[in-house]
Structure 1
Amino acid sequence: MEMAAGLYLVFMTALGLVSGLPPGHWQEVPSEEPVIQTLAEIAVREYNRRSDQDVAYIKLRVTDVRKQLVSGAKYDFSIVLGRSMCKKNGEETPNNCQLHVAALERGVKCNFVVLLVPWLNETKILHQLCSQEDFINNVAETSPSNQDKLSSNTEDELLETLSLFKEFVTTYNKTYQNDEEALGRLRIFSENLKKAKDIQEKDQGTAEYGITKFSDLTEEEFRTLYLNPLLSSQGHRIIKKAVIPKDPPPAQWDWREHGAVTEVKNQGMCGSCWAFSVIGNIEGQWFLKKGSLVSLSEQELVDCDGVDHACGGGLPSSAYEAIEKLGGVETEQDYSYQGRKQGCSFSTSKVSAYINNSVEIPKDETEIAAWLAQNGPISIALNAFAMQFYRKGISHPFKIICSPWFIDHAVLLVGYGDRNGTPFWAIKNSWGTDWGEQGYYYLYRGSGACGVNQMCSSAVVN
């Protein structure tokens, strides 16, 4: 009898059922204890068995664990559950089930009371009470002082990513065809969070990188939909050199302050940045020569430029030539932007601006500043490496990761200056005002960052 009692005591101690506490007293227990994780798995199986859902729910975390010594041990704990992508298959849930996108909105929180009687090899679920709740919002508001920490870093990162993804979907009004696509976008979003962090750590400027409206796109998708690979080709039309002013440029200049820049536009999912860059330049040139700022048509170039490739990319030098041959540009109002190539419907009777020629501006950044301050905004092209996740500040990637020889995006240079001693170029982009600083990109000035000085040009209006 003494040996049996000794073995019983060892068994009870191993399970954590022997303590200095009197029977009936509740004791808090860490959720990481193996016995708790085992009981949680039993509880989740019981939830799935009783549930009328056709999909399995999986454990996200265990909280609020306490133990009471009775005739055995009674455990009281809560489990946060999320809907998985797995169909229910008997009582067992596959170990590799992935979280369903529906869990971004609603989860399930269950309270269980389980009786464990080890000498009878018996486990009974005495109580189960579950309720739906917006657990993502609850997690976002949780602090370690009033909530158990997640049992592992993986779970912590998952819940943080889910919370950020939910906010991203709401902020940018994202919609997906089905749950499988949404889950795929969630995976891409998670990887992009890491990429943005890596770019942030390597940046030499003051820029902030993070979540943007492009955070659910792969790098290949982003390049295909929004950038312009033709800018790195060798098919540039040779245009004459611009005359550079002899006087040094002023310390700062911004054509937005002088009325030469229209509102930020949005090219949509079309690689037509070349058209927006050129049209922005012509708008500025027309204003400076004719005194009238008119929003002109990018769609005219997308439809009617027979040399360039519409949403497949194009070259500013070819676009100037196309406008000269057409005889001018219609207004945005008369020839509105559609974001896809259509049949050319240009009418000479609706021309609101024209150009006489075009010029190439040298690569020296001091000369670029001097020409810009005297003559207006400049069509430029650059490497958009850092722009997918750019939020604000002065971007300054290392040259080795933002090569000046790989140009893939055309934009409009509208000014320059410095912020707290850091020199910058002010660049008007064509991705809408919900990107960057109200649609603008600020890039370090003076080092040829990202090839900002490699392809500078302007139309000429007499």
Structure 2
Amino acid sequence: MPLNVVKLLGFSVVFLVIFGEIENHVSSPNRWDKRTSPRSPFSGRNPSFSGRPDRSPSPTRGDPFASPRRKNGGDGPLRIGVTLNQGIFKCRWTWGKMTSDAMAEEKFKKFMVDFNKNYGSTDEKWKRLKIFQTNLEIIDQWNREQGTKRDGSPNKAFGITEFADLTQEEFAEKYLMKPGRINEGFNIEKLKDLVKVEESETDEGEADKSKSNGRNSPRKARSRENTKAKWSFKKPESDDQGLAPRMVGSSSGSSSGPPPSYFSWSDESYYPPVQHQGNCGACSEMSLQSVLAILYSKRKGASKPLSTQQLLDCVENNSCEVGATYQMLLETYMLKDGVFLAQERDYPYRAVTQECLHRNVRLRGIVKVLQMVHSRSENEIINNVRRTPFVVSLVGQYLQFYTGPDVIVNCPNDERPTHGGALVGYGIHDDVPYYLIRNSWGSNYGIKNGHVMIKRGTCCTHLCTLGFQIRTKTAADVS
């Protein structure tokens, strides 16, 4: 046999052995079944759950980032009993898989560092890596379904978030409410009846006396205030209370005239930071607290975060596991009794339901006048959000992987809402009109330190849209 032929065959064998070893290295058990494609919540099927089969890891698996041994137990290179052409084809196919898996593992390593993820065991790390890989597929699919921008570039709203190692079922259990729960029993007519209380003068001297004697009993004070405060459901005719923030292009703060093309409460210097609800179904409490805190901070001219824990603890039949409906918060607490406003620093968030601690904290003020705005149409929301932020309901499962910078364009209205947020602004991004929603998953989420852009008229934002105007009793307001 000619020497050149022998050399060529020898080179081919070495080539196949090397790539066979590469395949053996990357054929780790973390690969998901390619036949199972992720279910998209935008496909018209049930968006809450992915329908993925159980892919629990084998209890004998080692560290997913360690070099695996051969499947047949040996340490040597993988034997390849194929022809030269078959071997080359197999090597190319293997190289593509290796690149995909290696990239996913590198992203997972970075994910663990970025979000301080520590798993208790190697098996748990394997499990989370598999889920992470599947979620990368889902993220790519969701972005494809977003379509393209006017310049033809992809519309990217989704990426890797702190929830990228959770299945859709786990995410819903930890961070969302049961479908429809947040709007359960919502009755705007009943709320209107509750706020129709006759006006009378408030006894500021009584409040001062109570404060000076060291008796800060919210239960008694709330009962007294309930008969003396004016509750109005009418939209204010003028902005004489200084409650509307500065609009873009205007220094007057007036909401008269045509609305600007962009507005956001989050641009104000006094805007309170976004909190994280943690593993507690307190999104409705946090969204209501956010609206009140923004208005309260506006009046004080400085950031004054209010207590979410106060709402979680002091509303009857409330818990992290079930979550309060907007009707519960308003009917049984806010409107019925009036409410003292505890600041976050005095009544900090614990993400667990505990005993109501009204008497143990310094309470910063009481709502003296509360004006409610119920807006359902886009025009009403745009006109009124410059006066007050709104609590809104949302289809929360579509928010799991939101990173921006683009708008979520296809969140549906035909699903029951599972989450609450605060509508704090609006604008137009790449020809897409959007609402800016303040979320409750911390300042690292989404855009603008904890916010998400959702296309107007989508995601059930119109089902429960309530805004407020507040005045606080200066005699009871000590900060």
TM-score interval (norm. to shorter):
0.5 to 0.7
Match of 1:392 among 394, 404, 407: 404
Distance 1:162 1:115 in 2: 26
For 1:110-189, list aligned pairs within 5 A.
151=94, 153-189=96-132
- Shift, 1:334, TM fit: 0.6
CA distance in 1, matches of 2:79, 2:259: 81
Conservation of the 8 A alpha-carbon contact between 2:272 and 2:297: no
Shift of 1:262: 0.3
Q: Deviations over 1:251-295 (max 9, x none)?
A: 221112234520111111111111110011101222344545411
SS at 1:353's partner residue?
Answer: strand
**AA partner of residue 340 (structure 1):** V
Higher relative contact order (CA 8 A, sep 6+): 2
Deviation at 1:158, TM superposition (A): 2.8
Alpha-carbon separation, structure 2, partners of 1:239 and 1:259: 33
Question: What is the deviation of 1:360?
Answer: 4.2
Q: Shift in Å at residue 311 of structure 1?
A: 4.3
User: 1:157, CA displacement in angstroms?
Assistant: 3.2
Task: Please name the residue that 2:168 is paired with.
Answer: 219
Distance across 2 between alignment mates of 1:221 and 1:113? 40
**Separation in structure 2 between the aligned mates of residue 376 and residue 457 of structure 1, nearest angstrom:** 9
Deviation at 1:199, TM superposition (A): 1.2
Q: What is the letter of the counterpart of residue 231 of structure 1? A: I
The correspondence for 1:452, drawn from 449, 456, 461, is 461
For 1:103, the equivalent position in structure 2 comes to 64
> What is aligned with 2:48?
none
Which residue of 370, 373, 383 maps to 2:383? 370
Give SS of 1:461's match: strand
Report whether the alignment pairs 1:234 with 2:188.
no
Cα deviation code 1:236-261 (max 9, x no counterpart): 56323552877432222111223452
Contact 1:411–1:429 (8 Å) recurs in 2: yes
CA 1:330 to 1:404, structure 2 compared with 1: closer, same or farther past 3 Å? Answer: farther
**Identity, % of aligned pairs?**
22
Q: Secondary structure in 1 aligned to 2:346?
A: coil
Report the equivalent of 1:357.
Answer: 370
Q: Distance in 1 between matches of 2:29 and 2:144?
A: 35
Aligned equivalents of 1:114, 1:408: Cα separation in 2: 51
CA shift for structure 1 position 189: 1.5
Q: Is the 8 A contact 1:428 1:441 kept in 2?
A: yes
C-alpha distance in 1, partners of 2:382/2:77?
73
Query: How far is the alpha carbon of 1:161 from its aligned partner?
Result: 2.3
Contact 2:407 2:432 in 1 (8 A): no
Distance change >3 Å, CA 170–CA 30, structure 1 → 2: farther
Structure 2 unaligned segments of length 5 or more: list them. 31-56, 81-90, 150-154, 193-232, 237-254, 472-479
Find out whether 1:313 has 2:323 as its counterpart: yes
**Contact 2:395 2:459 (C-alpha < 8 Å) held by counterparts:** yes
Given that residues 347 and 361 in structure 2 are in contact (C-alpha distance below 8 angstroms), is that contact kept between their aligned partners in structure 1?
A: no
Q: Tell me, in whole angstroms, the C-alpha distance in 2 between the residues paired with 1:359 and 1:113.
A: 73
Which residue number in structure 1 is paired with residue 235 of structure 2?
243
Q: Which residue type is aligned with residue 65 of structure 2? A: L
TM-score, normalising length from structure 2? Answer: 0.66
User: Shift of the alpha carbon at 1:306?
Assistant: 0.8
Letter of the 2:372 partner, please give it. Answer: V
CA-atom RMSD, angstroms? Answer: 3.6
Deviation at 1:349, TM superposition (A): 6.2
> Which residue of 1 is the match for residue 203 of structure 2?
none
Structure 1 residues 295 and 28: CA distance shift in structure 2, 3 A: same
Q: Give the SS at the match of 1:417.
A: strand
| Conserved? CA contact 2:26–2:101, under 8 Å | no
